[in-house]
Amino acid sequence: MSITLGLERLFAVAPRLPYTRPTLHITGTNGKGSVSALLSSILLASGYRVGRFNSPHLVKIHDSITLDGGPVSVEEYERCTRMVEEAKKETGAGLSNFEILTMTALCVFESAKVDIVILEVGLGGRLDATNAVTDECILVSGLTTVDLDHQAFLGDTIEKIAREKAGIARRGKPLVLGEQLYDAVEPVVRDVLQDVGSPLSRPAFVGKQSSLFSPETRIGPFRPPPPQLLLAALPSLQERLSLEFPLQGDHQVANLATALGMIDALRSYYPPYAARITAETITLGVSKVSWPGRLSFHTITHPRPLLVLADGAHNAGSAVTLGKYLSQYVSTSTPGTTVSLILILGLSHSPTKAPLETLLPLLSVPSPPGIAVRLSVAPSSFSIPDAMPWVKPVPPTTIESAVKEIDPSIKIQVTLTISEALDWARKQPNGQADRELVIVAGSLYLVSDFYRLMTTG
Report whether the peptide linkage leading into residue 221 is cis, meaning its omega lies within 30 degrees of zero.
no
For residues 99 and 351, which has the higher predicted lDDT (pLDDT)?
Answer: 99
Mean pLDDT estimate for the chain: 91
User: Does the residue 443 lie in any domain?
Assistant: yes
User: Does the residue 3 lie in any domain?
Assistant: no
Flag the least confident range among 111-115, 187-191, 223-227: 223-227
For residues 313 and 4, which has the higher predicted lDDT (pLDDT)?
Answer: 313
User: Does the residue 158 lie in any domain?
Assistant: yes
Domain that holds residue 278: 8-288
Please name every residue paired with 306 in a beta bridge, in sequence order, or none if there are none: 300
Statement to judge: residues 316 and 420 lie in one domain: yes
pLDDT band at 3 (very low <50, low <70, confident <90, very high): low
pLDDT for 1 equals: 41
Statement to judge: residues 24 and 124 lie in one domain: yes
Given 266, 288, 310, the domain boundary residue is 288
Statement to judge: residues 66 and 212 lie in one domain: yes
Burial of residue 351 (CB within 10 Å: 0-12, 13-18, 19+) is: exposed
**What is the pLDDT averaged over residues 377-385?**
92
Statement to judge: residues 243 and 387 lie in one domain: no
Statement to judge: residues 251 and 212 lie in one domain: yes
pLDDT for 214 equals: 53
- Helix 444-456 crosses helix 418-426 at what angle (to 10 degrees)? 70
DSSP 393: B
Q: Taking the mean position of all CA atoms in its chain, how far away is CA 66?
A: 15
pLDDT band at 209 (very low <50, low <70, confident <90, very high): confident
Given 288, 322, 341, the domain boundary residue is 288
pLDDT band at 205 (very low <50, low <70, confident <90, very high): very high
pLDDT band at 220 (very low <50, low <70, confident <90, very high): low
**What is the pLDDT averaged over residues 57-62?**
89
pLDDT tens per residue across span 266-305: 999 999 999 999 999 999 999 999 999 989 999 887 777 8
Statement to judge: residues 348 and 206 lie in one domain: no
CATH of the domain at 52: 3.40.1190.10
For residues 21 and 333, which has the higher predicted lDDT (pLDDT)?
Answer: 21
pLDDT for 210 equals: 65
3-state secondary structure (DSSP) of residue 138: strand
CATH of the domain at 329: 3.90.190.20
pLDDT for 171 equals: 97
3-state secondary structure (DSSP) of residue 320: helix
Statement to judge: residues 346 and 448 lie in one domain: yes
C-alpha neighbours within 13 Å on the C-beta side of residue 301: 1
Statement to judge: residues 253 and 302 lie in one domain: no
User: Does the residue 2 lie in any domain?
Assistant: no
Residue 158 to residue 151: CA distance in whole angstroms: 9
Q: Given CA atoms 313, 318, 322, 323 in this order, what sign does their dihedral have?
A: positive
The pTM for the full model equals 0.91
Report whether the peptide linkage leading into residue 56 is cis, meaning its omega lies within 30 degrees of zero.
yes
User: Does the residue 257 lie in any domain?
Assistant: yes
Statement to judge: residues 301 and 265 lie in one domain: no
Taking CA 200 as the corner, what is the angle to CA 197 and CA 201, rounded to the nearest 5 degrees?
A: 145
Flag the least confident range among 124-138, 169-183, 201-215: 201-215
User: Does the residue 405 lie in any domain?
Assistant: yes
Statement to judge: residues 318 and 262 lie in one domain: no
**Domains contained in the chain, number:** 2
Statement to judge: residues 274 and 145 lie in one domain: yes
Say if residue 421's pLDDT is above 70: yes
3-state secondary structure (DSSP) of residue 402: helix
Statement to judge: residues 101 and 240 lie in one domain: yes
Closest residue by Cα to residue 169 from 213, 205, 133: 133
Given 288, 312, 327, the domain boundary residue is 288
Sequence-ordered list of residues with C-beta below 8 angstroms from that of 432, at least 6 positions apart, any chain: 338, 374
User: Does the residue 179 lie in any domain?
Assistant: yes
**What is the pLDDT averaged over residues 136-156?**
86
CB 138 within 8 A of CB 169: no
**What is the pLDDT averaged over residues 114-143?**
96
Pairing of strands 338-345, 306-311: unpaired
Highest mean pLDDT among 277-286, 301-310, 332-341, 422-431: 277-286
DSSP codes, 339-374: EEEEEEE--B--TT--HHHHHGGGG-----TT-EEE
pLDDT for 142 equals: 98
Say if residue 371's pLDDT is above 50: yes
pLDDT for 428 equals: 82
Q: Taking the mean position of all CA atoms in its chain, how far away is CA 421?
A: 24
Say if residue 170's pLDDT is above 60: yes
User: Does the residue 98 lie in any domain?
Assistant: yes
